[in-house]
Amino acid sequence: MIDAALLASIVATMVIPAYFVMPLPSSGASAGLLDVALGPLAIGVMVGRAVALGFDDAGSLSRLSDFMILRSGVEFWPGVLAGCAWMIVGARRDGIPITARLAAISVPGLTAWALYEATCVLRDGCPGPVSTVGLRPAGLTETMLPVGLLVGAAAAGCAVLIRRRQRTGLADMRTVLVCIATIGALRALSSFWLPHIGDGLTRQHRTSIAVTVATALGLWFERRHTTRACLPEPTPA
* Residues written for the chain: 237
Boundaries of every domain in the chain: 4-229
How far is 207 from 77, CA to CA, in rounded Å? 8
| 148 CB-near residues (< 8 Å, 6+ apart) | 117, 118, 120, 121, 126, 127, 128, 190
pTM assigned to the model: 0.88
Sequence-ordered list of residues with C-beta below 8 angstroms from that of 203, at least 6 positions apart, any chain:
55
CA 202/CA 21 separation, integer angstroms: 33
How many angstroms separate the Cα of 174 from the Cα of each of 21, 102, 169, 223? 19, 11, 10, 8
The rounded average pLDDT for each run of 10 residues, N- to C-terminus, in the chain (237 residues) is 77 82 62 79 93 85 79 90 94 88 91 93 85 81 90 96 90 94 96 83 93 95 72 55
Q: What's residue 153's pLDDT?
A: 96
- Tell me what pLDDT residue 77 has: 96
Give the pLDDT confidence score for residue 25 in this predicted structure: 60
pLDDT for 200 equals 82
Q: Give residue 233's pLDDT.
A: 56
- pLDDT for residue 225: 73
- Give residue 48's pLDDT: 93
| pLDDT at residue 174, as a whole number | 94
